[in-house]
Structure 1
C-alpha cells in the first residue's frame, strides 16, 4: 500500500469478503461523491431512548422513577433532576476533556471514572434503584451522542472541506475526534449493562447497588480492552476485570437465609397464611389484581395476580426475592410496606409458605 494508507482490515461476513482501508489523506480529486456518515445510528438511538425514558419513568405518576423510602421527591422534582443530571453530566465531562488534562489520557480516564462512580452513588440515593441504573446508562448514552454531534462529526466536516479545497487537513481535529470516539467505544458495554439491569433486580435492589453497577462497568471496560488487544492485553487490566466480575457475583449471589433480614427469620415466630395474606392484600394487590386499583396499571404487571392463595404459594420464591431480599417491590414502595411486614412475609415463606389456614378454593 502507498504511504497514504495507515490501516487495513480484511473481513469475511455473510458469504462475502470485505476490505476496509483507512487513509490518512485524500487528494481533492479522490473525494468520492457519496460518503457514509456514522452519525444517524447514534442520533436515532438517543432520541428513541429519551422518549422511552419519558414514557416509562416520567409519565404514569413516576412510579418507576421515585422511591420515597430512598428520597421523598415529587414527580416534577424528580423529572427536573433527571434532566439536570443528563445535561450537567455531559458538561462536566466535556469541560474535563477540553482542559489540559486531555493530554494525559490515563489520568483523565481515572478521574472520569471516579466522577462516574460518584454520579452512580448519588443517583442510587436519589431515585429508585431501577431508575438510578437506567439514568447512569442514559448519562453515558448522552455523552456518547454529544461526542458524535459536537466533536466527531464537526471535525470530519472540516477535514472534508479542507480536502475538497485542496488544503491539508488539520491533524489535531482528527486526534480530538478520535479521542472522543475511543471514549464512546469503551462506554458501549457499560451502557448495555446499565440498560439491561432492569431485568436483574438482584443488581439494582442490592443494598450497595452503586458498587454493583460500578464493578459491572469496570468489567465492561476491561472486557472491551481485552477484545481490542487480545493476546497483547495488559495482564493487570485482565486481572482487574475478572476481579470486578467475581466481586459482583459474590455480592449478588444471595440466598434468602443470607439476606439482610435472614438472621431474624431463623428464630421468627410461626406466621400463618392469614397474616401473610393480609400484608399482600394491603401492599401488593393494588397492582397485582385482575382489575388493579392503581391507576398507573390498567393490567396487572407481568400478568401476576395475587388473588388466589395457591398462586401466592407458587410465587413465594419470587416474592421472597423481590419483597424481602432486594426490596424492589412494591414498586417505589408506593404502598408503604414496612420493614416489619417484610420480615413477617419473609418468615412465612421461610417456614414453607404453608396454606394451612387458607380458604378453600371455590
Structure 2
C-alpha cells in the first residue's frame, strides 16, 4: 500500500463519504424544522409566549413541541444547537474540492481549450470566486435591496445565472458545476456561521440578562434561513452532476445549471405550501417537469464549438512510454467497445461517464482512471465481460507507474 495514487483515491472516497453523511444530517434537520415551523398549530390554549405547538408520533413515542418566538418565562440552561451539520458539510466539501480538483487540477479543473491557465492561477480563481460570492451576497442582503424579499431573490438569481456562465468560461464542465454548487453552499453555511447562530446567541444572552432582544436579529436570521431552504435542492443536483456528463459536458451546461435553480425553487414551494396547510400547488410539479424536459433537450443539442483538446506534458509522457503500444492494444480490445464515440457493445448507446478511449490522447488523458479501475482493481471492465487478463492488468500498472 505504498502507491500514492491508491492511497489518495481512498482518502478521496473517505472524505466523500463524510461529506455525504454530514450533508444528509444538515439537509434532514433543515427540512424537518422548516416542516415543523410551517405546520405549527396556533389555535387553542397555548402557554404564555408560545407561538404554536404540534404533536408528533415517531418510533413508538409521542412528542409535544412548542415554539416560542422569543423565549419561555424561564429559559432552560441546556439548549441544543443545530450548527455542526452545516459546518462539517462545508469543511468536508472544501477538503474534497482540494483532494480532487486542486490536487488533480490538470485533469479535473483546467480545460486548456476553455482557458489556458496554470494550476496555481486556477486554484486562486476557484478560492477567490467562492469567497467573494459570500461577500457580494451578504452586502446585497444588508443593503436597502434586502428589505424586499422578491426583488432580492431575483437579483440573487441573476447573479447565479452569471456565475453559471462564468464558471464554464474558466474550468472544465464538471468543475464548473461543482464550483457553482460550492459557491452556493458556501453562502448557505456562512449564513449559519456568520448570521443565524451569532444572532441567536445574542438573543439568548439578552434574555438571560433580562434585556429585550432586538427583533431585527430574528428577522435577519429568518431571511437567511429562507434562502438556505430554497437553495438546498439545486446544490444537491450540482454536487451529484459530476457523475452525469449529459448535465455538465454539453455546450449549454450553464443554461442547464440556471434552470435547475428554478426547478429546485418550484419543488420547495410545493412542500412549503403543503406543510403550511395552504393547499397543494400541484402545478409546481408540472412546471418542474416541463423545465426538466427542456434540460434534457439542451443536453442533446449538438455542440457548436468543436476542436481537438490539447495534450498536456503529463499525457505526452504516457504516450511516449515504451509500454504504450501494448497498452493501446489492451484498451482498444478490452475497453473501447463501450468507451468510444460510437460504442459497439450491445445496450450501451453512449460512452459510460462520457469517457472515450478512441485515440492516443484520450487514453493518456484517462491514464489514472485506467490504472485505478482496470489495473489496480477489477472494477473495469464490469464483470470482466471482455476477458481482461491479469497480465494485461499488470501491464497497465507498469505503464502508469513508470510514466507518471
Whether 1:319 and 2:351 are equivalent positions in the alignment is yes
- What is the Cα deviation at residue 319 of structure 1? 3.3
Residue equivalent to 2:85: 41
The correspondence for 2:134, drawn from 90, 97, 101, is 90
**Any idea what the Cα deviations from partners look like across 1:71-90, whole Å, max 9, x if unmatched?**
11111110000001111111
Measured after TM superposition, the shift of residue 242 of structure 1 is 3.4
- The DSSP-based 3-state class of the residue aligned with 2:53 is strand
| Root mean square deviation, CA, Å | 3.2
Cα distance in 1 for partners of 2:47, 2:202 equals: 24
Q: Would you say the 8 A contact 2:318–2:364 is kept in 1?
A: no
Q: 1:66 aligns with which of 107, 110, 118?
A: 110
Check whether the contact 2:109–2:175 (CA below 8 A) recurs between aligned residues. yes
SS in 2 for 1:133: helix
Q: Which residue of 1 aligns with 2:292?
A: 245
What SS class does the counterpart of residue 191 from structure 2 fall into? helix
Asked if 1 retains the 8 angstrom alpha-carbon contact of 2:199 and 2:218, the reply is yes
Distance 1:320 1:10 in 2: 49
Q: Distance in 2 between matches of 1:142 and 1:125?
A: 21
Q: Deviations over 1:254-283 (max 9, x none)?
A: 3xxx7449xxxxxxxxxxxxxxxxx9xx98
- CA–CA separation in structure 2 for the residues paired with 1:161 and 1:332: 60
Identify which of 305, 309, 315 aligns with 2:333.
309
1:25 equivalenced with 2:70 (yes/no): yes
Structure 1 position 323, deviation (Å): 5.9
Residues 139-183 of structure 1: CA distance to partner in whole angstroms, max 9, x if unpaired? Answer: 111101111111101110111011111222221110111100111
Which residue in the other structure is 1:116 paired with? 160
Taking the aligned partners of 1:108 and 1:40, their CA distance within structure 2 comes to 28
In terms of mean alpha carbon deviation, does 53-62 or 75-84 score higher?
Answer: 53-62
The DSSP-based 3-state class of the residue aligned with 2:351 is helix
Say whether the 8 Å CA contact 2:338–2:351 is kept in structure 1: no
Contact 2:49 2:72 in 1 (8 A): no
Local SS of the residue matching 1:90: helix
1:200 matched residue in structure 2: 244
Unaligned runs of 5+ in 1: 262-278, 295-304, 336-362
Q: 3-state SS of the aligned residue for 1:179? A: helix
Match of 1:8 in 2: 53
SS in 2 for 1:313: coil
CA contact (8 A) 1:120 1:136 kept: yes
Higher relative contact order (CA 8 A, sep 6+): 1
Task: Compute the TM-score of the two structures, normalised by the length of structure 1.
Answer: 0.73
After TM superposition, give the deviation of residue 8 of structure 1 in Å.
2.3
Given the two structures, how large is their TM-score scaled by the length of structure 2? 0.66
1:333: how far off?
6.6
Task: Kindly report which structure 2 residues correspond to 1:34-183, keeping only aligned pairs within 5 A, or say none.
Answer: 34-183=78-227
Quote how far apart the aligned CAs of 1:251 are. 2.1
Gap runs ≥5 in structure 2:
1-45, 320-328, 368-404
C-alpha deviation, 1:237, in angstroms = 5.2
Q: 1:187 to 1:98 in 2, by over 3 A?
A: same
Q: For residues 11 and 238 of structure 1, what CA distance do their matches in structure 2 show?
A: 28
Distance 1:173 1:127 in 2: 39
**1:180-202 residue CA offsets vs partner (Å, 9 max, x unmatched):** 01111111101101100001110
- Is this contact kept in 2: 1:64–1:332, CA < 8 A? no
The whole-number CA distance in structure 2 between the counterparts of 1:319 and 1:235 is 37
Displacement after TM superposition at 1:214 (Å) = 1.1
2:237 is equivalent to residue 229 of structure 1: no
Structure 2 counterparts to residues 266-285 of structure 1, below 5 A? none
Residue 204 of structure 2 aligns to a residue whose secondary structure is helix
SS at match of 1:64: helix
Find the residue that maps to 1:7 and give its secondary structure: strand
**Structure 2 CA distance, aligned partners of 1:63 and 1:314?**
21
Paired residues, number:
294
